[in-house]
Amino acid sequence: MSEASAPGSPAELLDRMAATPPGARRRAARDRAIEAWLPLARHLAHRYSGRGEPTDDLIQTATVGLIKAVDKFDPERGVDFAGYAIPTIIGEIKRHFRDRTWSVRVPRRLQELRLSITEANSTLTHTLGRSPTVADIAVHLGVTEEDVLEGLEGARAYNATSLSTPISADGTTELGDTLGGEDHEFELAETRVALGPALALLDEREQKILTLRFYGNLTQSQIADQVGISQMHVSRLLTKALTKLRTELANSL
């Protein structure tokens, strides 16, 4: 007697589940169907063992794929359950590997885009006889160049390098040794950012005098010659402009 017609066979349990109205009896039939098809899930999980992931995790992932297949299977489509369940379970296992092999968590969209870019790069290198450009890859995949660049940036998260990795020939220097310490220049950078709007409050002549003095390193006398005013007037304008800047910076920082 074939599996499809054997009483209590996995195929028959699915048929019973499909014919049972929603409720407790249907849920029980669903549980029995899942249990009956578990050997298939375990078999597929073992096919992917030895690739860096614990077998128990793979079995659990395959079981999730099986449950999805049972819940979404429609016998009226004329496809046998095994033919529907196998790609569903394998797809779940592959997603598990794809998620786990990224060192830094990134959106699945970027993970899939990275895989597409890798495949496109290989294909285009062969067909074009050269390394493809970002534009080449974008046209091949039917996406924008910005999407390709985003995918390439996300690909950097695929593998992480340990800070303990030796980077010198004698092995005495590690990657972590190259990291900088606390940078007090950040405070200066914040001041520079705030300085832009403050400078915009000065009139054109005040801005020119400040530029000549602090960027051009000119003396007040040299500035006076360029602007066409007296050195004393330059001094007063510098004092006035610097006072404005100090007041504005004090209010913004």
114-119 contacts at long range (C-beta below 8 A, 24 or more positions apart): 114/151, 114/152, 114/154, 114/155, 114/158, 116/141, 116/151, 117/141, 117/148, 117/151, 117/152, 117/155, 118/155
| Residue 32 pLDDT | 84
Q: Rounded to 10 degrees, what is the CA torsion of 215, 219, 220, 225? A: -100
CA angle centred on 237, ends 234 and 242, rounded to 5°: 125
3-class SS at 199?
helix
Q: How far apart are CA 138 and CA 145, in angstroms?
A: 5
pLDDT in tens, 184-225: 555 555 556 666 677 778 888 888 888 888 878 888 899 999
**Count of residues for the chain?**
253
In this predicted structure, the answer to whether residue 246 has a pLDDT above a threshold of 50 is yes
% of the chain residues with pLDDT over 90: 6
- Mean pLDDT, the chain, rounded, equals 75
pLDDT band at 1 (very low <50, low <70, confident <90, very high): very low
Between 109 and 72, the higher pLDDT residue: 72
In this predicted structure, the answer to whether residue 239 has a pLDDT above a threshold of 50 is yes
CB of 40 closer than 8 Å to CB of 86: yes
Domains, the chain: 10-100 (1.20.120.1810), 108-159 (1.10.10.10), 185-252 (1.10.10.10)
Q: Please state which of the ranges 23-27, 54-58, 76-80, 120-124 shows the lowest mean pLDDT.
A: 76-80
Other residues' Cβ atoms within 10 Å of the Cβ of residue 151: 24
pTM over the 0.75 mark: no
Alpha helical stretches, state H, the chain: 10-19, 24-47, 55-72, 81-100, 108-128, 134-141, 145-154, 185-200, 204-214, 220-227, 231-252
In this predicted structure, the answer to whether residue 54 has a pLDDT above a threshold of 60 is yes
Q: How far apart are CA 50 and CA 58, in angstroms?
A: 10
| Residue 60 pLDDT | 92
